[in-house]
């Protein structure tokens, strides 16, 4: 009996210690640091156990049908607000909105990517987006040699072909989830950006290579959103799905490696110089930017595979969602685009980078979707690796800092009537001197998106091809509600019928 009582007491003590640990970590320390910033003048402070600002997003969905409603209204209701502070799990994060403070933030060298959330993706990929310091600068310099004008020009026929292949699947049909379709298109475009048609016909466990990588990304994403990860952090990597994910990805990377190695070994540099349709691997081989041995001027085959997987993640999440949302807005506002396309693209040969540049309303439409929808409401959070000062604010080591992208996209100081979808705002001269930090869909500074020009090109080519081929009809009873699930996205899949213009 005494042994049983002692055991129960021990369990009770352990439970009490565990409760005290969590209360101290997730409430006392977090609230203490938030009060430190409140005392420095951050008036907009919001704490909620574990989920922080995401509780406010959930409330916004219930009240307004838009998870970002509060943040879209923030700078209308509080025009002098420079920053806010909130929590995520036990982490304290300051969001900056003032453009001068953003300038200081982007130039600050004492910040590193915060590991919470990021660390789970680093288990399966190690591309440029996760690199810091000299390694980031070295890789970006090498990859930038390949991301030039000629590569984008060469990609237009490839992109056209991808869209035409998908059109055969959807002609005169109703697609129940256009964001998922957008992700499929973007995933295939990234494969061809890197490797042309090298993967056609390849399968992994009965799936195409694109489907296989997409499935892995979805599995990793679900782990990152789990309650167990929020509570216990990276200890969750030791069990569950992660071992299976790593095993599958290792096998997929071996397939990629064999293909790229064969490409390098079989490439004749003299013949490559005369090749008309080059992909990113061709340009890296030509510039000696890829090799079997790493150097200051080159990256290895393994590293280019990591970049490819990272591009797949970024493309599926951001460009895929954006393409799906572009289709939604095309259902509502197609007229001026159709007119501009008919005036500019009269034959297939007219579809090139120069003609796309001339299509001013097309560029304005894409900018307005990026502003109005803002698939990413923030950048990857960064952590102060020592005490720093931004403006008058003293920020302690270990605090997260971030950029409030969507808040400035809806800031009436920069965008008149920001809650109206109005592409003409980009053509009426009112935004000619717009500060780049006020419109920031691809981030800024040395960590901005290296693939942003390609992302915009594939969306613009998509708009042209869709409107040349189809009349788009959104289901009449569709209700547009925005939720947050890593990214801002519709709660209900977007259903569109694609009626062929060619009878």
Q: Which residues contribute to the annotated binding site for heme?
A: 449
Question: For residues 486 and 252, what is the distance between their CA atoms, to the nearest angstrom?
Answer: 25
DSSP letters spanning 334-352: -HHHHHHHHHH--SGGG-S
480 in the Ramachandran plot: left (φ > 0), alpha (ψ -120 to 50) or beta? Answer: beta
Q: What separation in angstroms does the CA of 472 have from each of 278, 309, 336, 480?
A: 33, 32, 14, 17
List beta partners, residue 87.
92
Q: Which residues contact 386 (CB under 8 A, 6 or more apart)?
A: 110, 397
Query: Strand, helix or coil at 499?
Result: strand
Other C-beta atoms closer than 10 Å to the C-beta of 132 total: 12
Q: What separation in angstroms does the CA of 195 have from each of 266, 371, 483?
A: 14, 32, 35
Are 359 and 344 within 8 A, CB to CB?
yes
Q: Quick one: CA torsion of 454, 455, 459, 461, rounded to 10 degrees?
A: 10
List the binding residues: 449
3-class SS letters over 250-280: HHHHHHHHHHHHHHHHHCCHHHHHCCCCCCH
Question: For residues 125 and 437, what is the distance between their CA atoms, to the nearest angstrom?
Answer: 29
Q: What separation in angstroms does the CA of 496 have from each of 170, 179, 384, 472, 499?
A: 10, 11, 45, 7, 9
Going by C-alpha positions, the residue among 31, 93, 94 that lies closest to residue 392 is 94
Q: Which residues contact 203 (CB under 8 A, 6 or more apart)?
A: 209
Question: For residues 45 and 233, what is the distance between their CA atoms, to the nearest angstrom?
Answer: 25
C-alpha neighbours within 13 Å on the C-beta side of residue 54: 15
Q: Which residues contact 308 (CB under 8 A, 6 or more apart)?
A: 127, 190, 194, 195, 256
Which residue shows structure tokens 């801002």? 488
Instruction: Please tell me what DSSP assigns to residue 27.
Output: I
Query: Strand, helix or coil at 114?
Result: coil
Are 500 and 168 within 8 A, CB to CB?
no
3-class SS letters over 28-95: HHHHHHHHHHHCCCCCCEECCCCCCHHHHHHHHHHHHCECCHHHHHHHHHCCCCCEEEEEECCEEEEE
């Amino acid at each position: 009996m005494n042994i049983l009582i002692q055991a129960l007491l021990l369990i009770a003590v352990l439970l009490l210690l565990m409760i005290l640990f969590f209360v101290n970590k997730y409430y006392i320390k977090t609230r203490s640091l938030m009060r430190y910033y409140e005392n420095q003048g951050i008036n907009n402070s919001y704490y909620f156990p574990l989920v922080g600002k995401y509780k406010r997003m959930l409330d916004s969905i219930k009240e307004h049908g838009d998870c970002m409603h509060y943040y879209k209204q923030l700078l209308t209701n509080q025009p002098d607000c420079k920053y806010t502070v909130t929590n995520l799990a036990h982490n304290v994060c300051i969001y900056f909105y003032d453009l001068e403070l953003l300038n200081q933030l982007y130039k600050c060298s004492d910040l590193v990517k915060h590991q919470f959330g990021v660390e789970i993706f680093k288990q399966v990929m190690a591309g440029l987006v996760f690199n810091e310091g000299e390694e980031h600068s070295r890789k970006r310099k090498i990859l930038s040699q390949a991301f030039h004008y000629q590569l984008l020009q060469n990609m237009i026929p490839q992109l056209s072909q991808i869209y035409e292949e998908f059109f055969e699947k959807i002609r005169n049909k109703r697609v129940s989830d256009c964001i998922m379709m957008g992700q499929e298109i973007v995933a295939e475009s990234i494969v061809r950006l890197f490797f042309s048609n090298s993967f056609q016909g390849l399968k992994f466990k009965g799936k195409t290579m694109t489907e296989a990588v997409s499935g892995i990304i979805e599995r990793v994403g679900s782990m990152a959103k789990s309650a167990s990860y929020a509570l216990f952090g990276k200890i969750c990597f030791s069990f569950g799905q992660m071992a299976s994910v790593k095993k599958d990805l290792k096998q997929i990377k071996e397939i990629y490696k064999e293909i790229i190695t064969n490409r390098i070994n079989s490439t004749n540099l003299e013949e490559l110089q005369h090749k008309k349709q080059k992909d990113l691997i061709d340009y890296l081989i030509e510039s000696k930017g890829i090799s079997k041995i790493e150097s200051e001027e080159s990256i290895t085959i393994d590293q280019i595979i990591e970049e490819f997987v990272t591009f797949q993640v970024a493309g599926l999440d951001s460009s895929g969602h954006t393409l799906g949302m572009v289709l939604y807005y095309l259902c509502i506002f197609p007229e001026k685009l159709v007119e501009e396309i008919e005036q500019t693209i009269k034959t297939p040969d007219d579809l090139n980078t120069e003609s796309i540049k001339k299509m001013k309303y097309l560029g304005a439409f894409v900018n307005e979707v990026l502003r109005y929808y803002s698939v990413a409401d923030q950048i990857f959070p960064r952590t102060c690796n020592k005490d720093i000062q931004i403006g008058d604010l003293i920020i302690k080591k270990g605090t997260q800092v971030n950029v409030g992208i969507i808040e400035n996209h809806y800031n009436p100081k920069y965008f008149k009537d920001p809650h109206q979808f109005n592409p003409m705002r980009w053509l009426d001269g009112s935004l000619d001197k717009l500060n780049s930090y006020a419109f920031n869909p691809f981030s800024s500074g040395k960590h901005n998106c290296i693939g942003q020009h390609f992302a915009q090109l594939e969306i613009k080519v998509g708009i042209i091809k869709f409107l040349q081929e189809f009349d788009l009809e959104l289901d009449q009873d569709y209700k547009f509600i925005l939720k947050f699930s890593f990214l801002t996205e519709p709660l209900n899949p977007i259903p569109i019928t694609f009626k062929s213009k060619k009878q």
